[in-house]
A and B are shown apart, each in its own frame.
Chain A
Amino acid sequence: ETGVTQTPRHLVMGMTNKKSLKCEQHLGHNAMYWYKQSAKKPLELMFVYSLEERVENNSVPSRFSPECPNSSHLFLHLHTLQPEDSALYLCASSQISGSGAYNEQFFGPGTRLTVL
């Protein structure tokens, strides 16, 4: 595997289900991100894990719960979602250097989530 992979690619779930999205990066990066992309809306950063620190967008509901067990893996745990949570969920990774250079993020193919 190369780059950033995400599974599953498509997910349909009911509002009472619990599911998890998985992301794995094979680039040796030290930061990982979850984004939400809804139709007709800007890309929304949900969570960042960098250098063992977690940064979150305060507007993200608690029904989304991230987990980052190591620098290569990132999960997004979903529970009691709403239909408006249907969107494309994108994972990304980047390398944060000590020099302060802000490097590009590399994205996975995304998980298309539909909440019924």
Chain B
Amino acid sequence: AQKVTQAQTEISVVEKEDVTLDCVYETRDTTYYLFWYKQPPSGELVFLIRRNSFDEQNEISGRYSWNFQKSTSSFNFTITASQVVDSAVYFCALSDYYIRYQLIWGAGTKLIIKP
């Protein structure tokens, strides 16, 4: 069965520190998609990235970067030089052929950036 594990319940760092959020997934499928979402205190879930299982290149978008490692079934998210506005709950999610257009969600990691 599909599963997404975000073992870090809460992380607290001081502004400008780098921080990595872990995501480990399970699926029997060879074709699958991984996602990261951000949920700020306002409540709305904001899409950050989608990655398919055939593309293992790391992705960088400004201060955000994602490391996809099929060998360890991980899709980790790093924020470089964190800012207070990065404070939010971050969710990792998975979709594969068996669940198709639905998503399996991790429990989320609450990130607190202190000034």
B45 within 8 A of A: yes
Give the distance in Å from the alpha carbon of A103 to the alpha carbon of B101 in the complex.
7
What number of A-B contacts does a CB cutoff of 8 Å give? 52
Collect the chain B residues with CB atoms within 8 Å of residue A100's CB.
Answer: 31, 97, 100
Q: Chain A: which residue is nearest B32 at the CB level? A: A102
* Count of A interface residues, CB-CB < 8 Å: 24
**Of listed B43, B95, B105, residue having the most chain A CB within 10 A:** B43
Q: Chain A: which residue is nearest B52 at the CB level? A: A101
Within 8 A of A (CB), among B74-103: 91, 95-97, 100-103
A110 within 8 A of B: yes
Q: A102-B95, A109-B43 given. 20 additional CB < 8 A pairs?
A: A42-B106, A42-B107, A43-B91, A43-B105, A88-B43, A90-B43, A90-B45, A96-B101, A102-B32, A102-B33, A104-B35, A104-B47, A105-B103, A106-B47, A107-B44, A107-B46, A108-B44, A109-B42, A109-B44, A112-B43
